[in-house]
Chains A and B, each alone.
Chain A
Amino acid sequence: LAKTTQPISMDSYEGQEVNITCSHNNIATNDYITWYQQFPSQGPRFIIQGYKTKVTNEVASLFIPADRKSSTLSLPRVSLSDTAVYYCLVGDGGYSTLTFGKGTMLLVSP
């Protein structure tokens, strides 16, 4: 299983753009990159998924360089409600399972 490394914590202010980078050096050809968001005492929630280049949805953007050994989750103009833990996972959705690391605790201040 591909292992991921991401910062333990990040701080930001309301209105700023936040970029969280995840390293996954041994990502396999069939693996996708998926990001989840978790609020305290709630289950994680799917944010975005990508395979290569750039993916954008109503919540975030995901940038994946050509070598796919890292990825960056971009949250535009964060608000206080974006304070949460963000997890980067790598897997192919096949017969392997996804492993959650400790994630990145994002704290957004006024």
Chain B
Amino acid sequence: DADVTQTPRNRITKTGKRIMLECSQTKGHDRMYWYRQDPGLGLRLIYYSFDVKDINKGEISDGYSVSRQAQAKFSLSLESAIPNQTALYFCATSDTLLVPGELFFGEGSRLTVL
């Protein structure tokens, strides 16, 4: 089993619908992140959390919200999906005490908003 698991892996939805992408990890890391990737572009940070009580906006947080339900779970919500949120979403984790900057990524969730 993957250390960082994302569900669903693929989702097609319609404009205006609420969507939740879930991420769970078994690595015991304290930090979790949500990134978005569009074709031909690098990854852009949406939200990040350094521990359960800490939530921070990234560079493109508008239209998204997150919930850190436990150390191992970090969910990303699109309250009212729009077509330009069609993208590949990645969850990642890192551990403060390990190699600086080493992120461990999930397999991605491909979201299509019609």
Contacts and interface: CB of A to CB of B under 8 A. Distances in A.
Interface residues of A: mostly helix, strand, loop or mixed?
loop
A91 B100 contact: yes
Given A42-B108, A93-B94, A97-B58, A103 B101 contact: no
Given A42-B108, A45-B105, A93-B94, A103 B42 contact: yes
Interface in B39-80: 40-45, 48, 50, 58-59
Contacts of A101: 42
Contact of A43 (B50, B58, B108): B108
B38 to A, nearest CB: 11
Interface string A90-110: 011111011111110000000
B35 A100 contact: yes
Interface of B: 4, 33, 35, 40-45, 48, 50, 58-59, 88, 90, 92, 94, 96, 99-108, 110
Interface of A: 32, 34, 36, 41-46, 49, 87, 89, 91-95, 97-103
